[in-house]
Structure 1
Amino acid sequence: MYVPALALFVIFILYPFLQGIKISFTNWDGYNQDYSWVQWDNYRRMFTDSQMLNVIYNTFIYGIGSTFLQNLVGLLYALLLNQSIRVRGLTRTIIYLPVIISPLIMGYIWYFIFQYYGGALNDIILLFRDEPINLLADPKVNVWLITLVNTYQYLGIAMIIYLAGLQVIPKDYYEAAQLDGASRFSQFMHVTWPLLAPSVTINVVLNLIGGLKLFDVITSLTGGGPGYASASLSTLMYQLYFARQDAGYAASLGNLMFVIISVISITSLYFLRRKEVTH
């Protein structure tokens, strides 16, 4: 029964992955049928590239920053919307709605808010000062704006997973804690948080993988610029392949990104699963 799924995995994932490893040892331009083997040159070039450190730093900001914010805000929303409050269902729907929008479209929506000329935010700023602010061109700001937009779009998923975790916690535990005189904070720290460990594991691993390979929002907001100020490994690979026709080097970056995501996600999964066993 699993042969069709295995065949699709081999054809569309395993084979392209192995081809990517092969291409990373060549000077292929992505189009021409002729190419030469360059051995480890692409990897040496990668580790001596002056822009690479900044690109990797940005990639970690997108991954770790989005993970922290999505889990923090998603958990707060889940705790609030797990209570018996009015319009609870409508509020949950509104928070989750951005998830169903294409990330590329979401980036363009926020671009029209942040853009230098005619942006909604700058229209408001011009009411109080003479010059608009070019936030998307500021290397100290644009990376964090992208992280916030990505957080805004996907925190609904974290909220839903935490809500599911909260709703399977037996109410008897809270009643027993109340009888012992535990405060709301103590109940959260000693009942809610330990029993939410499986939900934390799922959210952290999914958010890390999604953030570390972030592409669409970066492309629509800044295109990775100015220069490489907001580029991630994903956007740099895209530029190398399609703009520079440097597919061999792009493939080596893809392999680096695969290693980074695999190591971080597997390590996080192992550590968080151990915390689940502890509790």
Structure 2
Amino acid sequence: MKSGGAARLNRNAPFWLNLMYLPALLLFLLFIVYPFLKGVQISFTNWNGFSQSYKWIGFDNYKRMFSDPNIGVVIRNTLIYGVGSTLLQNIFGLLYALLLNKSIKIRGLARTIVYLPVIVSGLIMGYIFYFFFQFRGGAFNDVLELFGMAPVNMLGDPNLNVWIIMLVNSFQFMGTAMIIYLAGLQSISKDYFEAADIDGANAWVKFKNVTLPLLMPSITINVVLNLIGGLKLFDAIMALTGGGPGYASQSMSTMMYKTYFSSQDAGYASAIGILMFLMISVFSIIALQYLRKKEVN
């Protein structure tokens, strides 16, 4: 009866009350939808980013993008940042949540320490780790030289710098995953664990058959958020390597930025941005739909 009454109340609400959503809708259209549609339009032009005149060139920017010899490396790097960061953030975020959900004396302090990097700017975090990994004078190489070993140019090595960036991004944001997992763990009723104890289940069986299934909503949220954040990673890359050497550590976001501002090729940069948008949308929607099916009602 209450739900029916509430529904009737909503339908009979004054007309002006139904207009309260309009400011938010207008802001969304102005700052999200319009720039996106403008970007789609620009991707079909040869606009240089500052001239008042430009020419419509159809799909030339998209043809150029898919024939670009560097686009494969950039897409691979973007996937490493996205998928790799998602895996590490969720694994370590869950481990920290399981540990800090227990009754230990310093759990409040420990939670704060794990979460603290999240509130630091990604650019600042990148610069902090730059001074750790840099070739000359970096803390890591100072330790190697202390033991008589030669320094390693990790940020200049194409085989290492992508993975270092992914690790730095994972380290910074695993605190977010931990907080979401902690909320999920604290919402699980203790009755399930008591029933499992009565059945003689050990810690692993309880985790696999009780904790993990009931944490699926938290896993869904974390995976989708981490995936989106990793696929559009920008600031840590710019601080650590600037996308170099060459295109070795560039993501689609840094390639788009450099194409627009350094090469003054706004049309091509917009085409890269549209491809990045489609990649993020496809991966996040697939992950969301797949994980939603795994959730326990």
Q: Scaled by the length of structure 1, what TM-score is found?
A: 0.98
Q: Which of residues 216, 238, 244 in structure 2 aligns to 1:197?
A: 216
Residue 174 (structure 1) aligns with: 193
Q: 1:114 corresponds to which residue?
A: 133
How far 1:152 moved relative to its partner? Answer: 0.6
- Indicate the residue corresponding to 1:35 in structure 2: 54
Provide Cα deviations, 1:65-124, integer angstroms capped at 9, x if missing partner: 000000000000000001111200000000000000000000000001001111111111
Query: 1:143 Cα deviation (Å)?
Result: 0.4
Which residue matches 1:78?
97
Question: Are positions 1:94 and 2:116 aligned together?
Answer: no
* Paired residues for 1:123-142 under 5 Å: 123-142=142-161
Unaligned runs of 5+ in 2: 1-19
Measured after TM superposition, the shift of residue 131 of structure 1 is 2.7
Displacement, 1:130? Answer: 5.0
Q: Distance in 2 between matches of 1:19 and 1:50?
A: 27
- For residues 13-59 of structure 1, what are the alpha-carbon distances to aligned partners after superposition, in whole Å with 9 as ceiling and x for unaligned? 10000000000001100011111111110000000000000000000
Of 248, 252, 255, which residue of structure 2 is paired with 1:233?
252
1: CA distance, partners of 2:195 / 2:34: 55
For 1:134 and 1:67, locate their aligned partners in 2 and report how far apart those are by CA, in whole Å: 26
Bigger radius of gyration: 2
Paired position in structure 2 for 1:221? 240
- In 2, distance between residues paired with 1:207 and 1:97? 17
Find the partner of 1:56 among 63, 75, 81: 75
Equivalent of 1:254 in 251, 273, 278? 273
Bigger Cα displacement from structure 2, 265-274 vs 128-137: 128-137
> Where does residue 3 of structure 2 map in the other structure?
none
Runs (4 or more) in structure 1 with deviation over 3 Å come to none
**Superposed CA RMSD:** 0.8
Aligned-pair identity (%): 65
Secondary structure of the structure 1 residue equivalent to 2:150: coil
Q: Find the counterpart in structure 2 of residue 162 from structure 1.
A: 181
- Uncovered stretches (5+) of structure 1, i.e. residues with no partner: none
Aligned equivalents of 1:164, 1:264: Cα separation in 2? 25
* Matched position secondary structure for 1:136: coil
> Which deviations, in whole Å up to 9, do the C-alpha atoms of 1:166-207 show, x marking residues without a partner?
001000110110110001000000000000000000000000
- TM-score, normalising length: structure 2: 0.93
Q: Tell whether 2:284 aligns with 1:265.
A: yes
Aligned length, in residue pairs: 278
Inter-partner Cα distance in structure 1 for 2:150 and 2:215 = 48
